[in-house]
Amino acid sequence: MPQPIYLDVCTLSRPFDEQHYLRIRLETEAFNLILSRVRKNDYKLLVSPVHMKEIEAVPDVFERIELKTILDKLGEPIKVNLDKTRKRAEELVKSGFGVADAAHVAFAELAVAQFISCDDALVKKCLNHNIRVWCGNPVAFCEKEGLR
């Protein structure tokens, strides 16, 4: 059975970021490696309503279409109790998380999915709070999972 993973929109958008920086290139390659393993059914890419809301706000039309296509083709709608998710997100907001970040983390927690983000501040917040799932960037995930 494939392991559930939850990639935030920052991670999904990494290939569209300026690739002149080594870190961004490494995270883009790690993201592509993760997607290749989703295609092989090693992982299950979960999609929440927060993804769609955030993606609709992406100003670049091409990027927005690509992100929706990735989630439509490879993603699986998340199945969690929305009331519990909302309650957990509200707790996280009170702990200093932004609204969208709190919602992403709450969905990942309730789905018991590993949470992957390129946002250092968000990953740090996750590590400093009582987040109940693994959190890290795409490179750390690939290293942890032994993906090559």
Query: In the CATH scheme, what is the homologous superfamily, with its name and number, of domain 3-145?
Result: 5'-nuclease (3.40.50.1010)
**In the chain, % of residues over pLDDT 90:** 98
Contact 42, 71 (CB under 8 A): no
Mean pLDDT of 53-74: 97
Parse the chain into domains and list their residue ranges. Answer: 3-145
pLDDT of residue 82: 94
Mean pLDDT of 57-63: 97
C-alpha–C-alpha distance, residues 106 and 140, integer Å: 21
pLDDT of residue 1: 86
Cα distance from N-terminal residue to C-terminal residue, the chain: 20
> What is the pTM assigned to this prediction?
0.96
Q: Answer yes or no: is pLDDT of 22 > 90.
A: yes
Q: Answer yes or no: is pLDDT of 17 > 90.
A: yes
C-alpha–C-alpha distance, residues 117 and 98, integer Å: 14
DSSP code string of the chain:
-PEEEEE-HHHHTGGGS-TTSHHHHHHHHHHHHHHHHHHTTSEEEEE-HHHHHHHHT-S-HHHHHHHHHHHHHHEEE----HHHHHHHHHHHHHTT--HHHHHHHHHHHHTT-EEE-S-HHHHHHHHHTT-SS-EE-HHHHHHHHT--
Mean pLDDT of the chain: 97
Query: Residues 70-115: pLDDT tens digits?
Result: 999 999 999 999 999 999 999 999 999 999 999 999 999 999 999 9
Name the token pair of 93.
């907001």
Q: Answer yes or no: is pLDDT of 25 > 90.
A: yes
